[in-house]
Amino acid sequence: MLGSILDLTCLVQSVTDTKSAMGGVIKTYATRITSAPCSFKQKTVRFMDEYNKAAERTIYRFYFEANTTNNAITVSDRIVYDSGKFEVDSVYDVAGKGKVLQIDCTKVT
């Protein structure tokens, strides 16, 4: 059933933090899930910030089938899709039914 909706593929990478000789943090990414079937949507949200000034935020939303592999995706991971890199902000079980994961991301450069 989800196969017709999840018509794209992406990579999911996990992060490892190591300290450099100077004490800084170096992030390295390793691919954890290859060719994961997904769906992708981009939407812009408008809101008022704390200074009552209009602001916008773009949300990059991925949908995955909720299975044993995909349920391990966390906010420390990143998704690579169509040469773009996206840091995971949140992971939701849509409708709490254990069928579809909604993953909201921020695009990184």
Backbone angles phi, psi at 83, to 5 degrees: 65, 10
Residue 101: the pLDDT is: 94
Most confident of 3-12, 42-51, 83-92: 83-92
C-alpha atoms less than 13 angstroms from C-alpha of 57 in its C-beta half-sphere: 10
Q: What is the mean pLDDT of residues 13-19?
A: 93
Domains and CATH numbers, the chain: 2-108 (2.40.10.370)
Query: CA 25 to CA 15: how far, in whole Å?
Result: 12
User: Could you read off the pLDDT of 25-62 as tens digits, one per residue?
Assistant: 999 999 999 999 999 999 998 888 888 888 888 999 99
User: Could you read off the pLDDT of 62-78 as tens digits, one per residue?
Assistant: 999 999 999 999 999 99
